Structure 1
Amino acid sequence: MFELIKNGGWMMLPIILCSIGAMGIIGERFWSLQRKKILPAELVPSIWQLHRDNKLDDVTLRRIKVSSPLGAVLSAGLANSEHGREMMKISIEEAGRQVVHDLERYLNSLGTIASITPLLGLLGTVIGMIKVFSAIMVHGVGDPGVLAGGISEALITTAAGLTVAIPSLIFHRYFERLVDEYVVKMEEESLHLIDVMHGDREEA
């Protein structure tokens, strides 16, 4: 493996750094975007129980807010439930924008890695081909060993760039879809909360 990296030339260094960054982001997002952390199943039933028992005081709302992203959105609505339906909706939307921003953390970086690593591989290919033609100018085409080094460097960097870019792109799309699903579910719970608090629907 070390020889393969060495033969790829200096362009392998940024590609390796990109691969380390991508693996770190993917691992962190898998850990942070677990469903039980974003949409805890017991949260909504516990909120309705506290609402029925008239126990939604400031301390309880703060605890709900820090419990999960869904809790942050719902607590914003609960804190403004006495100010009317429209104010409650505005508060939920403002909290929701912040939550979505947090859920999408590092995804732009992962998308950037997926975009630039093929270009880094292509740049390595170009550099390798320049070395091939430079060797041809100096030694002619009679020494295949001289030409093989540049061709090898060109092919290795291309393969390395694609090897990093393909899984990065796959996971970037996967996490984006996961965040979209979470956002839809939080919107659903928020609308249900607004309707119940203002008497348009009954608690499920």
Structure 2
Amino acid sequence: MMDALIAGGWLMIPLLGCSLLATVIIIERLWTLRAKRIAPYGLGQEVCSLVARGQVNLYWLEGHSPLGGVLAAGLRNARLGHEQVRARLQEAATAVIHDMERFLSPLGTIAAITPLIGLLGTVVGMIEVFAVIVSADGVGRTAELAGGISRALVTTAAGLTVAIPALMFHRYFQRRVEEITVRMEEQASQVVEFLAHYRGEIGFNEQREGERPGAEARPS
């Protein structure tokens, strides 16, 4: 490995930096973009049931998950009308989607620029090779010729080695964000439709104590 880094020359330094950054982003996004953490199944139905019983603890709901925060934003404006609920849900969902897409742009940039860095190394290596060839004793300077060719090949291979997995994970994370967004929309729509047809008084428990909604909730 060290021999490859030395053979690739100074252009291996930015490639190594891109590789480390891409690895950190991939690990962080794999941990963060878990569907059950962001939009757990059944939360929309549970919220509808709690609304019907007047036992919605908004502080618990906001801390439950990002989807819970979205639903809580809508419920806080439930008395202002159907359109206000939708608007607040949309605003909160936009913020969650923005958080899910965090670091995807740098990962895509790494996937795009590392092959170019490798190509630059190829060009630099070939320039060195031709510079040796055109010199007076170029044919006999095999070590320098081999060094230039090695740099051309090593940097190209290193650039592709970093770019290919970065591109694959970038596409994978984009798809995962889309799937989680659809799940959030489905559950948010479920709550919106329930509120549109609900004829009872909506009561909230906004006490911070406790992690679950309590039966002592009173309409506010």
TM-score normalised by the chain length of structure 2: 0.86
Does residue 199 (structure 1) correspond to residue 197 (structure 2)? The answer is yes
RMSD: 1.3
Q: CA deviation at 1:42?
A: 5.0
SS at match of 1:10: helix
Which of the numbers 108, 111, 115 marks the counterpart of 1:114?
111
Does residue 19 (structure 1) correspond to residue 19 (structure 2)? The answer is yes
Where does the alignment leave 5 or more consecutive residues of structure 1 unmatched? none
Which letter maps to 2:30?
Answer: F
SS at match of 1:198: helix
Shifted more, 99-108 versus 35-44: the winner is: 35-44
The CA distance in 2 between the partners of 1:176 and 1:186, in whole Å, is 15
Q: CA deviation at 1:46?
A: 3.1
Which of the numbers 66, 71, 92 marks the counterpart of 2:68?
71
The CA distance in 2 between the partners of 1:105 and 1:87, in whole Å, is 28
Q: CA deviation at 1:192?
A: 1.3
Q: CA deviation at 1:174?
A: 0.3
Partner of 2:143: 145
The CA distance in 1 between the partners of 2:6 and 2:53, in whole Å, is 68
Q: Which has the higher helix share?
A: 1
Please give the per-residue CA displacement for 1:123-159, whole angstroms capped at 9, x wherever unaligned.
1111111111111122322333221110000000000
The CA distance in 1 between the partners of 2:144 and 2:42, in whole Å, is 67
Retained in 1: the 8 A contact 2:43–2:187? no
TM-score normalised by the chain length of structure 1: 0.92
Partner of 1:160: 158
Please give the per-residue CA displacement for 1:29-85, whole angstroms capped at 9, x wherever unaligned.
0000112211223533432332122022xxx21221232121121111111111111
Where does the alignment leave 5 or more consecutive residues of structure 2 unmatched? 199-220
SS at match of 1:40: coil
Shifted more, 69-78 versus 92-101: the winner is: 69-78
Please give the per-residue CA displacement for 1:76-133, whole angstroms capped at 9, x wherever unaligned.
1111111111000000011111010000010001000000100110111111111111
Which letter maps to 1:85?
Answer: H
The CA distance in 2 between the partners of 1:7 and 1:15, in whole Å, is 13
Does residue 130 (structure 1) correspond to residue 127 (structure 2)? The answer is yes
Retained in 1: the 8 A contact 2:44–2:188? no
Give matches, 1:17-96, under 5 Å: 17-56=17-56, 60-96=57-93
Larger-Rg structure: 2
The CA distance in 2 between the partners of 1:117 and 1:165, in whole Å, is 6
Retained in 1: the 8 A contact 2:123–2:152? yes
The CA distance in 2 between the partners of 1:6 and 1:142, in whole Å, is 23
SS at match of 1:178: helix
The CA distance in 1 between the partners of 2:106 and 2:59, in whole Å, is 31
Retained in 1: the 8 A contact 2:114–2:159? yes
Number of matched residues? Answer: 197
Which letter maps to 1:79?
Answer: R
SS at match of 2:55: coil
